[in-house]
Amino acid sequence: MSDNQKISPEEICELYNVKRWGSGYFSVNEKGHLCVLPERREDGPHIDFMEVINEIREQNIAFPAVIRFHDILRSQVKLINMTFREAIKEYDYKGQFFGVYPIKVNQMREVVEEILDAGEPFNHGLEAGSKSELMATLAYNENPNSLTVLNGFKDQEYIKLALLGRKLGRKFIIVVENISEFGLIIKIAQEMKVKPLIGIRAKLTVRGSGRWAESSGERAKFGLTCSEILNGIALLKKNNMADCLKLLHFHTGSQVPDIRIIKDAIAEAGRIYADLYLSGITLEYFDIGGGLGIDYDGSRSANNSSRNYTLQEYALDVVSGVQQICDEVGVPHPNIVSESGRYITAHHSCVITNVVDTIHQTNSSFETGVIADEHILLTNMRESAESLTTDNYQEIFNDAQQAKTDAITAFKLGVVSLEERARIETLYWQVITRISQILAGVDFVPEELQQVEELKASQYLCNFSVFQSAADTWAISQLLPIMPVMRLNEKPQERCSIVDITCDSDGKIDKFISQSGYDKSLLLHAPIKGEDYFIGLFLTGAYQDVMGDMHNLFGRLNEVHIYCDDDDPTDFYIEEVIKGTSAEKVLATMQYNPDMMARQVKKEIDRQIHLGQIQPREGVRLIDFYEECLAGYTYLKF
Ligand SMILES: *Cc1c(COP(=O)(O)O)cnc(C)c1O
């Protein structure tokens, strides 16, 4: 590698914004490999991605794969609890902090168990929003000192299950989302002879901004208006159950980009708390919901993939906001409950995939010589290519763009032949390549010509499905950090976008984080023939981790769970491998019968053997091959 191709760990981190989105968990080592720092310190353990990848390969686990770093999960749980505790101490706030993890953010049992385990010293509990999630909390949250907050729309079964939690001595709090639930809770609690813990979700008028703005505001699907709250309390009083009301909840939507929304919500909900308390309702918990954002693009701004505050500011603003209102009105400081999910899970998992091919626009290579009676558009394009200089490149660029568009129209009308079009395209890409070289040497690039690099960008075909592994980039244009995990001591010089192996033209990623906002292309290395080139999609641990769908019948990925071990020379060990979905399983989910399919194919092969079209030995091998593929991974095999 020559010196001008080299790049230092600091420079490459800067290029991919690693320090900003990585929250201290990611870094690049001297070998040019991406590393995980489970303790967020450069002098702590380093887990080298290439060592992880090599060990995965030794165990014959195929890529693409999800890699989970359990230590990051644990660290995030500790971080949120410690930060709130510090804020409480700093302000001499009288209430305590109770975190509850919303299962819907990442329902994987291993994730939920790890969070509960790491959260045990802090009494970190769970939040459920459906009957299935509630059943999971019954089985998994056994800590009698932590909370289980039950949101979502409820039927009789839901309430019965929640009250079962009370019978088991747990702090299960049923949060009323809808006025009719008061009646149901009163009735079933009386039938089961158990005292419920009740919460209410307030419908605030502050509207979130960001993507989930609709989760709050007057037209939100969830929550009670002020009059509904007062009517519900009257009903509880009539049934001698007003003392069951313990929690006030609101949720402003996920990934709140702007701290002002949080402050506004606290001001409004704080007043509701204070007024209810003054009227004799001894609420104990003030539940601020989720919404604590992640800086996906590293911009620290109020745009949708970022947030303009830190965890510390968030905690300080929440604590001081509630305190101010309480002190002003003279009511006790409630315990603060947070239902933060994204913040805890986003960093812990990533998707590692390899680039399997590259598609270069500019690779069009055909003869460009004159043909007899050629169309004028071809002659013009050739003249443009030949007359291009450093003085006229802007003019030539405009001519070439126009001539290319005209040529396609002319082709469709049958005026330009296939042979002529191939020549025009080749000449066009020669012009673009040359202009790009010229632009590299000039100080000022006119706005129109800034698209040249985008035009030239290649497509890197990666072995994964956007719909399965990066659903949020497709569904809600979530920006995810994407970068190679290797060759990071080498300057990446290929501008490209990412395409997946589904047959869907939406199966692509063409929006990337950059230092100045976002770019339509990403800088990667030119793959070396015969060598793997691994890239990672990061911060995939919240929501999309479990939302992937089976578009094109690509199933769930192989999963590898990593724990840090300071005594091991590599600083890690693989604790568990969960096999991704096999082709037969994906097919069976869609009501196919893989056994019958194999029998059917065998019958056809037998018939061909009988007809003498296939040799018996080959026939047996083909049947085995078909069955092997059925049992195999759904992704490309290399
Ligand atoms: C989804 C959800 C959460 C989690 O929000 P995050 O932004 O991921 O922390 C919390 N509470 C409720 C009611 C939710 O619906």
Domain boundaries, the chain: 95-340, 376-453, 584-631
Task: Give CA–CA dist 386/428, Å, rounded.
Answer: 11
- How would you class 591 by CB atoms within 10 Å of its CB: exposed for 0-12, middle for 13-18, buried for 19 or more? exposed
The mean pLDDT of 226-239, rounded to a whole number, is 96
Say which range, 68-77, 212-221, 426-435, 561-570, has the weakest mean pLDDT.
212-221
Q: What percent of the chain has pLDDT over 90?
A: 82
**First vs last C-alpha separation in the chain:** 27
* Confidence at 206, pLDDT banded by 50, 70, 90: confident
Dihedrals φ, ψ of 590, to 5°?
-95, 20
Residue that the structure tokens 């003249």 belong to? 383
pLDDT score of 208: 59
**Entry pTM:** 0.91
Which atom, in ligand 1's list, is nearest to the CA of 254?
Answer: 7
- C-alpha angle 363/369/373, rounded to 5°? 125
Domain 376-453: CATH class, spelled out: mainly alpha
- For residue 475, the model assigns a pLDDT of 79
Task: From residue 380, give the alpha-carbon distance in Å to each of 100, 356, 368, 375.
Answer: 68, 38, 12, 9
Q: Does residue 151's CB lie within 6 angstroms of at least one atom of ligand 1?
A: yes
At residue 225 the predicted structure's pLDDT band, cuts being 50, 70 and 90, is: very high
pLDDT of residue 213: 63
Among 200, 291, 199, smallest CA distance to 251 is for 291
Q: How confident is the model at residue 214 (pLDDT cuts 50, 70, 90)?
A: low
Of 273, 361, 377, residue with least CA distance to 325? 273
Average pLDDT, integer, range 606-621: 96
What integer is the mean pLDDT of 206-226?
A: 71
CATH T-level topology, domain 95-340: TIM Barrel (3.20.20)
**Is 341 a pocket residue for ligand 1 (Cβ < 6 Å)?**
yes
Q: Which amino acid is at 155?
A: D
What letter represents residue 547's amino acid? M
Arithmetic mean of pLDDT, 7-27: 95
More confident residue, 4 or 76: 76
Distance from Cα 341 to the centre of ligand 1, integer Å: 6
pLDDT digits (tens, 9 = 90+) for 347-360: 999 999 999 999 88
Kindly indicate the confidence band of residue 72, based on its pLDDT and cuts at 50, 70 and 90.
very high
Determine the average pLDDT of the residues in 558-570.
94
| Cα 557 from Cα 469, distance rounded (Å) | 8
User: Are 63 and 52 spatial neighbours (Cβ–Cβ below 8 Å)?
Assistant: no
pLDDT at 218 over 70: no
| b (16+ CB within 10 A) / e for 81-107 | bebbeebbeeeebebbbbbbbbbbbbe
The pLDDT tens digits for 106-158 are: 999 999 999 999 999 999 999 999 999 999 999 999 999 999 999 999 999 99
pLDDT of residue 637: 86
CB of 254 sitting under 6 A from ligand 1:
yes
Residue 453 has pLDDT above 90, yes or no: no
What's the number of CA atoms in the CB half-sphere (13 Å) around residue 418?
Answer: 0
Q: What is the reported pLDDT for 210? A: 64
In ligand 1, the atom with minimum distance to the C-alpha of 212 is: 7
Ligand 1 close to Cβ of residue 339 (< 6 A) = yes
Do residues 348 and 79 lie in contact, with contact meaning Cβ atoms separated by under 8 Å? Answer: no
Residue 253 Cα to ligand 1 middle (Å):
7
Pocket test for ligand 1, best of 251, 309, 344, 545 (most atoms within 8 A of CB): 251
Report the percent of the chain where pLDDT is more than 70. Answer: 98
DSSP-derived secondary structure letter, 634 = S
Distance CA 358, CA 535 (A): 14
- Going by pLDDT thresholds of 50, 70 and 90, the confidence category of residue 195 is very high
Per-residue pLDDT at 449: 87
Burial status of residue 412 (CB atoms within 10 A of its CB: 0-12, 13-18, 19 or more): exposed
Q: How confident is the model at residue 518 (pLDDT cuts 50, 70, 90)?
A: confident
Per residue in 308-333, pLDDT (tens digit) is 999 999 999 999 999 999 999 999 99
| Measured distance CA(63)–CA(264) in Å, rounded | 46
Average pLDDT over residues 430-442: 91
Instruction: Read off the pLDDT of residues 245-289 as tens digits, 9 standing for 90 and up.
Output: 999 999 988 999 999 999 999 999 999 999 999 999 999 999 999
Our answer on whether the CB atom of 104 is closer than 6 Å to any ligand 1 atom is: yes
- Distance of alpha carbon 422 from alpha carbon 425, whole angstroms: 5
Ligand 1 atom at shortest distance from the alpha carbon of 249: 13
Distance CA 114, CA 38 (A): 15
Mean pLDDT for the chain overall: 93
- pLDDT category, 219, cuts 50, 70, 90? low
Q: Does the beta carbon of 289 sit less than 6 angstroms from any atom of ligand 1?
A: yes
Residue 217 has pLDDT above 80, yes or no: no
Given a cut of 70, whether residue 29 has pLDDT beyond it is: yes
Looking at the CA of residue 291, tell me the nearest atom of ligand 1. Answer: 7
Which of 129-133, 158-162, 300-304 has the least mean pLDDT? 300-304
Q: How confident is the model at residue 207 (pLDDT cuts 50, 70, 90)?
A: low
The whole-number pLDDT of residue 216 equals: 62
Residue with token string 């019948």 = 553
Query: Coil, strand or helix: which one is 128?
Result: strand
How many CB atoms neighbour CB 330 within 10 A?
9
Alpha carbon nearest to ligand 1 atom 4, residue: 290
Choosing from 254, 476, 539 the residue with most ligand 1 atoms within 8 A of its CB, the one to mutate for a pocket test is 254
- Residue 544 pLDDT > 90, yes or no? no
> What is the rounded CA–CA span in Å between residue 555 and residue 96?
43
For residue 221, pLDDT over 80 is answered with: no
100 Cβ inside 6 Å of ligand 1: no
Regarding the beta carbon of 106 and ligand 1, being less than 6 Å apart is answered: no
Strand pairing category for 494-499 and 522-524? antiparallel
* Least confident span in 160-169, 209-218, 253-262, 627-636: 209-218
